Structure 1
Amino acid sequence: MTVTFDRENTPRTPAAPLRLSLTPDDATAGRLDGAWWPRSYDLLAELPSLAKELDGRWGRVTRVTLNPAHWPVIPPRIPVAGHVVHAGWFQQEQDIDEIMVRSYAPLRLDLLVIPPHTDEAAAAELMAAAADPANTRTAGDLLAAGPPEHIVRGRD
């Protein structure tokens, strides 16, 4: 089966602002380099805005790895702003609440992935904690420490 899209007649919705916090450039990162709060666990829909933002900050994103526990589909190649990002996973070695982003530079970012339906106040606290250079907790530890009534885990 072949699927085609009529780009002229496909309704376009405005892109929602990217929800990302990073450790300040002049600071040595702690255990994590920041946090990303996607709106869903649809990697094809969510990764392009993250990669586009990071491309402009520290070089073209070339690869991401994540744990497939939350992501229902992890395509091996994801088109992003004129290039392709390769995606992979490490089910047992990688924290289920983290994404690792590599750039062409080569640089690496380890980001907490905040569950999409997390309460806004809890997400703001998690984003600040993950970007804090003094943070020594893993992504999973940060989420476990948060108030459970505000954090909704699972798939969309």
Structure 2
Amino acid sequence: MSNAPRPPRPARPLLRLYVAPRSTVPRRIDGAWWPRTFDLLAEPPQLLSGLPRAWDQIVSVLVNGTVWTGAPGRMLVRNQAVRPCRTTLAHAPSTTVLMAPGHGRRDLLVVPPEATEQAAASLMSAAGLPAEQGRFAS
């Protein structure tokens, strides 16, 4: 048995998430998320762990089933079971919908993992979100 210090664990990449400020005016998109992959088993748990506490207990995550990979199942996030669901509806190909019972839904624009920062800013602008480059942490 060695007493040598263990190397530090690699740091988790920062969550690239923009949450729109609270508003009394309803909006179509509540924020933007720029995952690093379309892996259903890896990305949504990191997203849910990094959401503001005010968003309450998310129990369901609806993603575009044509681009996300990985078998859906239940995820445990913050000691809460979350069910990922897939859709192929054409009206929301680039959004993720987060559902919290009694608190409604939150819709996030999904920036494709391979997008450049400039492309991410353009997508955010088109969705009506502030689009300055550097909005996301990388």
TM-score bucket (shorter structure): 0.7 to 0.9
Distance 1:12 1:34 in 2: 30
Cα distance, 1:130 vs structure 2: 3.4
TM-score under structure 1 length normalisation: 0.67
- Where do 5+ consecutive residues of structure 2 fail to align? 1-5, 131-138
Q: Which residue of 1 aligns with 2:111?
A: 114
SS at match of 1:41: coil
107 and 29 in structure 1: CA distance in 2 versus 1, 3 angstrom threshold: same
Count of residue correspondences: 124
SS at match of 1:122: helix
- Aligned CA-pair RMSD: 2.5
Worse-matched range after superposition: 118-127 or 38-47: 118-127
Cα distance, 1:124 vs structure 2: 3.0
Matched, 1:45 2:42: yes
Q: Which amino acid aligns with 1:28?
A: V
More helix by share: 1
- Where do 5+ consecutive residues of structure 1 fail to align? 1-8, 134-156
Worse-matched range after superposition: 18-27 or 37-46: 18-27
- Identity rate, percent: 37
Matched, 1:83 2:80: yes
> Does the 8 Å contact 1:37/1:115 carry over to 2?
yes
Greater than 6 Å deviation, 4+ residue runs:
none
